[in-house]
Amino acid sequence: MSSEITTGAGHTQPDVERLHVAGLHAPSDAVLSVRDLNVRFNTENGVVHAVRGVDFDLLPGKTLGIVGESGSGKSVTSLAIMGLLPSTAEVSGSVMLKGRELLGLSDRAMCEYRGNELAMVFQDPLSSLTPVYTVGAQILEALTIHNPTMSRQAKEARAVELLAMVGIPSPKERLKAFPHEFSGGMRQRVMIAIAIANNPRVLIADEPTTALDVTIQAQVLEVLHTAQEETGAAVVMITHDLGVVAGMADDIMVMYAGKPVETGAVDDIYYNPRMPYTMGLLGAVPRVDVAEKSSLVPIEGMPPNLIHAPTGCSFAPRCPLASDACLAGEPALAPVPGSALHRAACIKSGSLGGDVDVHDVFAAPPVPVSRFDAVPREKRSTVLQLKDVRKHFPLTRGALLKRRIGTVKAVDGLSFDIREGECFSIVGESGSGKTTTLLEIMEFHKDQDGEVLIGGISNKQANDSRTKSAMRRELQMVFQDPTGALDPRFTVYEVLAEPLQNAGMDRQAIKARIMELMKLVGLQPDHVNRFPNQFSGGQRQRIGIARALAVNPKLVVLDEPVSALDVSVQAGVINLLDKLRAELGLSYLLVAHDLSVVRHISNRVAVMYLGKIVEIGEVDRVFDNPRHPYTRALLSAIPVPDPELERTRERIILQGDLPSPLDAPKGCNFATRCPVFAALPPLKQEKCLTLEPPLEPVAPSAAAQALAAHPLPAPDQRFACFFPDGEIDEDMLVVHEQADHHAP
Amino acid sequence: MLRYLAKRGITYIFMIFLTTSAGYFLAVSSLKPALLEQERIPRPTPEQVANSMRLKGLDPDLSPWERYVEWLTAIVTRWDWGRSPNGAYINAEFGDRVWISTRLFLASIILTLVIGVALGVYSAARQYKFQDRAITSYSYLAYIVPAPIAYFLVQLGAISINETVGERIFFVTGISTPGIQPGWAQFVDMLAHYAVPTVAITLVGWGSYQIAQRQYLLDNVNADFVRTARAKGLTRNQAISRHALRVSFIPVAQSIAFTIPAIFAGGFFAEKIFAWPGVGSWSIDAISLQDVNAATATLAYGSVIFALGAILADFATTLVDPRVRVQ
């Protein structure tokens, strides 16, 4: 591992230099110093070198963002620092916490630091708390371990204080609650409370918001921010989402194949990336705040297998700029010309920079144009129409004699239509009824409440299986989890042949069609005899898309098609969907929680809340000029990969979780969490609570009306709110001032 | 909780009634004690047999339905479960036998549980090490060796100890020596009778608990919440014993509650081999002796015990798992 030694040795110099330049700290000021950290796992296939020479210094009160895709070694790095790796892992290098070496300490010796000066928040809040103990007991335990002499009253008082700090209402009563009585967001707050219980100096957060809804993500990020302010801890924030760290981090470390490939201040990384991988990652993420349509940057290929030591740059096989020089030895992390703080592991970093367009480097495909784009929407035919579709679930009690104690209105009076060649998206938090809507469409039964028209066939006529199978040829589905959606014992050929056989095609035609499909979705036709497990996640999703397209449907229902994929792979699948829509004239019904993806790919969007559409319209209109307070909150909750913007952006933080559909108020569903409602005078509040706002079009402003010669057509945007122009309650509005973040 | 238990109790009483009634009809239509009487020497006349049966309430001339009504009325009004063909009263016989079974199994059940769960935890903490492999292999062996063979082996072991010492230390069969002096001598005699069956049943029984507990604990050792506990500052072993153990005990607690009654009601191999005339051997004997009332009574007892086990399992689950709510 000669490359590592050079990395390790050549490292001290720029580091001292860097701190010297900063003029603020001597190296000993760092609370956490990691040097040449290496982690190897012995597996059946050989030694996996998961982390290969990570160095960083973390200064008190600062935040370091570690960014990378799955398998890049970021989580292993954090677990190695915590000493929580399984005993089979070989860890070498140095981890110094306030000048004391942590590596090599026994489990017992590490316990003095863990949970005390060094704390961690994990990814999945649902499984990270012990289900059989109360939340209070689990917080108290963290206090007891490190303060054995503390009295019970003092510990309980501290626990209440902690729960209040992380924003849990009525903390004293909630101490006695069990984890299952909390929602995911609330549990993550408890996890943060446990982590900061002993005022840690270093707080490691490993993907703390990945499992949460955007509105809850915004809340939890806010709590982390508060926690950092209260404790003055340095934070290591591990994430794959470049948006999440943009507003929080001071420094960024980008990891690839177990190695840091670019490090520097947050602005350097986002505005002036010098490593093609970083550039690719930034270009691969769609942005929720940009209307301009350009293709995303896909990074082809897969990360290397870390069983074999790379001989050249580990990114070279996927890098469009790779040359022979890149294959000779792994490049060390070296300062970028002109900036000592910014380092990149690329021999070409000098020629890259902020002015190089990533779309040129990665040869992003041109924006596909559909033949329908030129036709006005009203003149295209309708492929799917929903008229007042409802799905109510009775809530019953009792074992033998069931009593109805309420109704869950999962979908409550949904009407919309999808025209040819258009992508229509439904967005909303989990529990808003998105999936139930899809299920209702797929159900297609005449006893349904409401009418579903697919390609002119109504569910009210769906009496026989013939009508149903005619409907299935019009509409196909792509599922969220590409691995679970494919039978592991079917070859790709069998997966694709099944719908064609059902359609009654003969063998020759099926074979030809499958070859055509493979090419269409960008897979090699000679891979048809492979099994799904021989493909990567992105390729499996392509197989899922090919299967859906096999029978030439007009409408494809996409249920979270890219949420299980890494960003670089996600970009490729999104580009493919875009291309197919244009080339084949498909329509999409997309359900996604990632609003950036929705904005990138859709033409129209509907925002759902508790089973109802609260705002619907053309995607750019809704996203640029949201009228409903919920849409506004949802949009403001999404982090944008732009540090400057993130720091100054106003953010609406909704309070609490999605209420149980049982407690839905009589008037506007959203009133309980509405930031506008909270600031309204009581008289107007009364209106929100008693009357249900109808879905009404946006009236063109009087001034615009006067200027125009003809009466303007109403824009394609409707919303359900009485007071769209109301002030937003100040308690729910958060702005992170720049000064706030860069204070020493 | 009480309301819930009462509700479940009523459901089970109804189900016990159904199984017992069905069992009675099956017994009364297939078991013919009168035929056995015919084999006596000197052979009685059919009239004599019918007469003696009628006196014991086992009139073979009545239809099954008439006998059922008679039998049920006796139970409901007088709590009288009838008589055996040999004239014995079921009620009296039953009390003795339940007491014998309970004495035979109680100690071994407790030992089985404690040893099984403890070894499960011990072997899970040492997964794939020598101790784990040895203990778990033994458990699988105990699983597959038929219980009677294991009991015989233990008896042989006890006998060879007796022979080596040259004195009779252990009794391999029987409950007690008749006519022994009360006091210390009786106590020693009881221990000498208890030792062999208790050891034998325990040795065979703990394997299943060990395997289950080991498996459930291993499922939880690498759980996220154990990692959280370690991140708080607990050592790995502390985190496992405080957090993983209780969670892994939930399914074990449920299975325990279900197996206890099964042992009480169905340990007839042990009862036969060690010559402790309990409920288990009685149920088998009842069938071979064409004893309608005894067979039905053991069946009823089995259902009651099973219902108790089910309620106990529910109770145990609510006790260890706060996520389970009682409505």
**Dihedrals φ, ψ of A299, to 5°?**
-100, 110
Q: Which of residues 170-189 of A touch B (CB under 8 A)?
A: 178, 180
Instruction: Name A251's bridge partners.
Output: A64, A265
**Residue B2 to residue B4: CA distance in whole angstroms:** 5
| Residue range A136-140: mean pLDDT, rounded | 94
Number of Cβ atoms within 10 Å of the Cβ of B163: 10
If you measure CA to CA, which chain B residue comes closest to A399? B327
Tell me, what DSSP letter sits at residue A662?
Answer: G
A294: left (phi over 0), alpha (psi -120 to 50) or beta: beta
Q: Are B257 and B316 in contact (CB under 8 A)?
A: yes
Number of Cβ atoms within 10 Å of the Cβ of A687: 15
Range in A2-6, A302-306, A622-626, B181-185 the model is least confident about: A2-6
- Min Cα distance A309 → chain B (Å) is 29
Cross-chain residue pair A128–B227, CB shorter than 8 Å: yes
Q: Which residues of B touch A (CB under 8 A)?
A: 223-225, 227-236, 242-243, 246-247, 250, 320-323, 327
- Chain segment A340-367, per-residue pLDDT in tens: 788 998 888 877 766 677 777 777 788 8
- Min Cα distance B291 → chain A (Å) is 38
- Min Cα distance A286 → chain B (Å) is 32
- Min Cα distance A91 → chain B (Å) is 18
**Residue A672 to residue A665: CA distance in whole angstroms:** 8
Predicted confidence at residue B263, as pLDDT, reads 63
Q: Are A416 and A606 in contact (CB under 8 A)?
A: yes
Length of chain B: 327
Cross-chain residue pair A122–B236, CB shorter than 8 Å: no
Spatial CB neighbours of A38, under 8 Å, sequence gap ≥ 6: A4, A49, A51, A52, A53, A90, A91, A92, A93
Partner-chain residue, chosen from A111, A132, A194, that has the shortest CB–CB distance to B322: A132
Cross-chain residue pair A122–B232, CB shorter than 8 Å: no
- Chain segment A524-573, per-residue pLDDT in tens: 888 899 999 888 888 999 999 999 999 999 999 999 888 888 888 888 89
| Residue range A269-275: mean pLDDT, rounded | 89
Number of Cβ atoms within 10 Å of the Cβ of A672: 17
CA distances B103 to A606, B190, B264, B276, Å, are: 71, 11, 10, 10
**Residue A506 to residue A109: CA distance in whole angstroms:** 70
Concatenated DSSP letters of A149-163: T--HHHHHHHHHHHH
Contact list in A for residue B225 (CB cut-off 8 A) is 127-131
Between vectors from CA B156 to CA B155 and to CA B157, what angle results, nearest 5°? 90
**Residue A550 to residue A509: CA distance in whole angstroms:** 12
Nearest CA to A606 out of A719, A699, A453, A449 is that of: A719
Longest dimension (CA), chain B: 86
- Chain segment A404-425, per-residue pLDDT in tens: 777 788 888 899 999 999 999 9
Q: Which residue of A87, A111, A182, A202 to mutate against B (max B Cβ within 10 Å)?
A: A111
The beta strand positions in A158-271, using DSSP E, are 202-206, 234-239, 251-256, 259-265
Contact list in B for residue A124 (CB cut-off 8 A) is 224
pLDDT of A644 higher than 60: yes
- Min Cα distance B249 → chain A (Å) is 11
**Residue A719 to residue A616: CA distance in whole angstroms:** 6
- Chain segment A327-344, per-residue pLDDT in tens: 888 888 888 877 778 899
If you measure CA to CA, which chain B residue comes closest to A182? B323
- Dihedral sign, Cα of residue B236, residue B242, residue B245, residue B248: negative
CA distances B133 to A16, A86, B139, B222, Å, are: 53, 21, 10, 20
Q: Are A131 and A216 in contact (CB under 8 A)?
A: no
**Residue B200 to residue A688: CA distance in whole angstroms:** 75
Q: Which of residues 190-229 of A touch B (CB under 8 A)?
A: 191, 194-195
> Which tokens in the block code for residue B130?
């020598």
pTM of the predicted protein model = 0.81
Helices (H), A83-128: 107-110
| Residue range A199-216: mean pLDDT, rounded | 88
pLDDT of A656 higher than 80: no
Concatenated DSSP letters of B103-136: HHHHHHHHHHHHHHHHHHHHHHHTTTSHHHHHHH
Tell me, what DSSP letter sits at residue A207?
Answer: S
Q: Are B124 and B237 in contact (CB under 8 A)?
A: no
Place A23 in a pLDDT band, splitting at 50, 70 and 90: very low
If you measure CA to CA, which chain B residue comes closest to A107? B235
pLDDT of A314 higher than 70: yes
Number of Cβ atoms within 10 Å of the Cβ of B165: 10
Bond from prior residue into B42 cis (ω within 30 degrees of 0): yes
- Chain segment A173-196, per-residue pLDDT in tens: 889 899 988 888 889 999 999 999
Helix (H, G, I), strand (E, B) or coil at A180: helix
Helix (H, G, I), strand (E, B) or coil at A609: strand
- Min Cα distance A395 → chain B (Å) is 15
Q: Which residue of B10, B216, B232, B237 to mutate against A (max A Cβ within 10 Å)?
A: B232
Q: Mean pLDDT across chain A, nearest whole number? A: 85
Residue A192 CA from chain centroid, whole number: 20
CA distances A320 to A263, A279, A315, Å, are: 21, 11, 10
Partner-chain residue, chosen from A82, A107, A112, that has the shortest CB–CB distance to B236: A107
Nearest CA to B278 out of B257, B301, B250 is that of: B301
Q: Are A237 and A249 in contact (CB under 8 A)?
A: yes
**Residue A137 to residue A146: CA distance in whole angstroms:** 15
Contact list in A for residue B322 (CB cut-off 8 A) is 131-132, 134, 178, 180
Tell me whether 0.95 is exceeded by the ipTM: no
pLDDT of A4 higher than 60: no
Predicted confidence at residue A740, as pLDDT, reads 44
Predicted confidence at residue A401, as pLDDT, reads 61
Cβ burial, residue A148 (10 Å; 0-12/13-18/19+): exposed
- Chain segment A93-123, per-residue pLDDT in tens: 999 998 899 998 999 999 999 999 999 999 8
- Min Cα distance A167 → chain B (Å) is 21
Cross-chain residue pair A122–B320, CB shorter than 8 Å: no
Range in A85-99, A279-293, A545-559 the model is least confident about: A279-293
Q: Which of residues 410-469 of A touch B (CB under 8 A)?
A: none
Q: Which domains does chain B have, with CATH numbers?
A: 2-78 (no CATH), 96-320 (1.10.3720.10)
Predicted confidence at residue A235, as pLDDT, reads 94
Place A62 in a pLDDT band, splitting at 50, 70 and 90: very high
Q: Which residue of A88, A105, A132, A401 to mutate against B (max B Cβ within 10 Å)?
A: A132
Query: Strand A423-427 relative to strand A339-344: parallel, antiparallel, unpaired?
Result: unpaired
Q: In tens digits, what is the pLDDT along chain B, a chain of 327 residues?
A: 777 778 888 999 999 999 999 999 999 888 887 777 777 777 788 888 888 888 887 777 888 898 899 899 988 898 888 888 888 888 888 888 888 888 888 888 889 989 999 999 999 988 889 999 999 999 999 888 888 899 999 999 999 999 999 888 888 888 888 888 888 888 888 888 988 999 999 998 889 899 999 999 998 888 999 999 999 999 988 998 889 988 998 888 888 777 777 666 657 788 888 888 888 888 888 888 888 899 999 889 888 888 888 888 888 888 888 887 665
**Residue A561 to residue A573: CA distance in whole angstroms:** 8
A170: left (phi over 0), alpha (psi -120 to 50) or beta: left
